[in-house]
Structure 1
Amino acid sequence: MSRTGLSVGFVLTNNFTLTALSTFMDALRLAADDGDGSRQIRCRWTIMGSSPEPVRSSCGIPVARWEAFQDPRQFDYIVVVGGLLHAGPQLDPQAVDYLRAAGAQGVGLVGVCTGSFVLSRAGLMRNRRCCVSWYHHRDYLEEFPDHQPVAEQLYVVDRDRITCAGGAGVADLAAFLIERHLGSACAQKTMHIMLIDKARPPGQSQPQPPTASAEGAAAVVNDRVRRALLLMEQNLSDPLTVEQIARRLNVSTRQFERLFRDATAMSPTGFYRLLRLRYGHWLLRNSARSVTEIAQETGFADCAHFSRQFREVYGVSPSELRRDGPAPEPAVLAEGLRAVTALALDRDLVPPDRRLFE
């Protein structure tokens, strides 16, 4: 493949995410040609692999390589498309060696979805910031405690390493690279054909804020509590009851409440409510949804209930925050699980001899 305006080689991991591949590749396709002919004129792309055998995507659709590994210097970027994290080896040794050789030659390496894990496992993300999904933030910290994960941005550009959390953020990353190499008009045209108003910048927050920072995640060592936190994160709009969570964890409600208090100094109900309010705060600052819609999205019975709880924690009503501009979120809300209790005590939300939201 000869060098052109933007050259990209894709490497697929076992159980890769099909959306990440198709979104990235479709953006290149639309940028490559003036019409909709899909001709590789301004952009060129290919799928490489060690074996001619198709690679199975996480949804079950197999995709075969187009060619064997090529000289990495003919590419501007080699994109590793990740997927399921705990479903066996993601790449074979030949593919890992190819990525290391490409990195040694200064070729830009891009990891999308869990491709960031692949690059890190190959030793290619040392001393660099690495973007991961909030969903896999704890997994990354456990495996790479000496790395610098970023779970609050869509993607991170750190010199010749680019990592993206995945999902719809892949379209934003593709637009960024298209604009870098082919200009803003080409990137804008690509996004409009994809029915995207405009590409979001790399610093844009991931749509789902994580429950806790690295410090908070490290503080929770009990596996059942960590699984409970994940269940809460995944069920913000239709909250589970404490009994339902305990049942999924195969423990009694009483035992679960005790384990949760030991780990967080809070009741499960209180923490869950605060997590939903924090998500509501994020939606108020980052979306155009009405307060009523946000109340429903965060699992409150009605707008009035949401507004009362929101004012109690943030000191302003949702409408006031919208009208007067972003009120600073109490910093400790973003610092981890233990700091949440400190917030309540510092702001006198509850008497100091009681836990938050008993």
Structure 2
Amino acid sequence: MPGIGFVVFDGFQIMGLAALSVFEMANGVIGRPAYEVHVLSEHGGPVRNSLGFAIETAPFGAQIHDTTITIGSLVVKPSAPALLDYLRSAGTASRRVAGICTGAYVLAEAGLLDGRRATTHWAHARHLQSLYPRVRVEADRIFSADGNVWTSAGMSAGIDLALALVEDDFGQEVAKATARNMVVYLRRPGGQSQFSTLLELEPKSDRIRRALVYAKEHLTHPLSVEELAETANLSPRQFSRLFREETGQSPAKAVEHLRLETARMLMEEGHRSMDEVARETGFADRERMRRAFVRTFGQPPQVIRRAAEAMRGAGLN
């Protein structure tokens, strides 16, 4: 069975361990122990995480794992020589190596990202690039795969990376069922922005937040001010005023951004025609969608789709 080795060190960021659950849940979906997961450290024994408590680990030893995953830390610091040696060995012996969040720094320090595309948490991307100029840092990707080396953005993006690994091993249906059991979205494409419209709008009240979530889940609806106001239990006039006060945008502009975000994601996945994407995101027709793309991104959707196709052809999505 494929062995998954999670490499940790003192002060590792505990959110990175969330990716462990992906392989645990995948075993349940598959109906057998398809993955054997180990948490590893240089000396084994208890290792403290970013919250200060410890988890038990096994020492590096001589065992080679099918996939070796390094979890990052909140504070980037030089890695122990033994950790770097172990990762260099894994770079040639493991089928895949991966870094979650600032785990990309550790892979770069080990020389595993030289000449490769990689990503990390957006707040660290520029620093990573300056420290390791031979790495081609893609600052706004959820995850990246270049050859047998995978990297992800921060925190929850490690789950997206792990789901992509499961899909790589057992196909989309297994990954989709795994995500469903975890009650997470399957799966954000690697090229999707680390930022989301819902996060950027940051509504302060539950009423406006509820209306935005409703809009995100009902993009095929007209999503008029009247429809959204009803979900917030406000009059259309009250809703429009409160919405603009809390988000700085009109409801129509926010809905358009939600449609664009989803349309871009669907195009990057590459499974739907332009007409299908337009219908499923509520643009109604390709021309209306094209105008919105040009207005917001400065280029038509065909250009974005071709770029995503080129990246998939190069194994980078």
Which of the five TM-score ranges fits, normalised by the shorter chain? 0.5 to 0.7
Shift of 1:92: 1.7
Which of 20, 26, 32 pairs up with 1:25?
Answer: 20
Structure of greater Rg? 1
Tell me by how many angstroms 1:60 deviates: 2.2
Alignment CA distance shift 1:301-1:172 (3 Å): same
State which drifts further: 186-195 or 49-58: 49-58
Instruction: Quote the residue 1:147 is aligned against.
Output: 135
Cα deviation, residue 141, structure 1: 2.4
Structure 1: tracts of 5 or more residues without a match: 210-233, 240-282, 312-316, 333-358
Following superposition, the deviation at residue 197 of structure 1 comes to 4.3
Match of 1:138 among 126, 129, 145: 126
**1:306 aligned partner:** 249
Identical-pair percentage: 26
TM-score w.r.t. the length of structure 1 is: 0.58
Quick one: which of 51, 60, 68 aligns to 1:78? 68
Conservation of the 8 A alpha-carbon contact between 2:29 and 2:177: no
Q: Which AA in structure 1 matches 2:3?
A: S
Correspondence for 1:69: 60
Q: 2:23 & 2:84 partners in 1: Cα distance?
A: 25
TM, length-normalised to structure 2: 0.65
Q: 1:327 aligns with which of 293, 298, 314?
A: 293
Figure out how many residues of one structure are paired with residues of the other and give that number: 245
Query: Within 5 Å, which residues of 2 pair with 1:121-270?
Result: 121-207=109-195, 237=202
- Cα deviation per residue 1:277-331 (whole Å; 9 max; x = unaligned)? xxxxxx9xx95687989x99xx95267x6349x79xxxxx879987432332355
Question: Which of 30, 47, 51 is the equivalent residue of 2:43?
Answer: 51
| Letter matched to residue 249 of structure 2 | F
Q: Tell me the distance in 1 between the aligned counterparts of 2:157 and 2:63.
A: 25
Amino acid at match of 2:26: A
CA distance in 2, matches of 1:237, 1:182: 37
- Contact (CA 8 Å) 1:8, 1:45: kept in 2 or not? yes
The question of whether the paired residues in 1 share the 8 Å contact of 2:117 and 2:146 is answered with: yes
Q: Please tell me whether the aligned partners of residues 151 and 161 of structure 2 are also in contact (alpha carbons under 8 angstroms).
A: no
2:305 corresponds to: none
Aligned-partner residue type, residue 42 of structure 2:
S
In 2, distance between residues paired with 1:140 and 1:60? Answer: 26
Residues 101-120 of structure 1 correspond to what in structure 2 (within 5 A)?
A: 101-105=89-93, 107-120=95-108
1:15 aligned residue (1, 11, 18): 11
Task: Tell me the SS of whatever aligns to 1:151.
Answer: coil
Contact 1:133–1:166 under 8 Å retained in 2 = yes
| SS at structure 1 position matched to 2:245 | coil
Q: Residues 238, 161 of structure 1: CA spacing in aligned structure 2 closer, same or farther, 3 A cutoff?
A: same
- Letter of the 2:25 partner, please give it: L
**Deviation at residue 13 of structure 1 after TM alignment:** 3.1
Q: Is the 8 A contact 2:121 2:139 kept in 1?
A: yes
Q: Residues 16, 287 of structure 1: CA spacing in aligned structure 2 closer, same or farther, 3 A cutoff? A: farther
Partner Cα distance (1:120, 1:18) in 2: 21
Would the aligned equivalents of 1:291 and 1:318 in 2 still touch at CA under 8 Å? no
What is the rounded CA distance, in whole Å, between the counterparts of 1:318 and 1:9 in structure 2? 39
What SS class does the counterpart of residue 167 from structure 1 fall into?
coil
TM-aligned CA distance change 1:70 to 1:137, over 3 Å: same
- Give, in whole Å, the separation in 1 of the partners of 2:169 and 2:30: 19
- Compute the displacement of 1:85 (Å): 2.9
**Residue type of the alignment partner of 1:44:** E
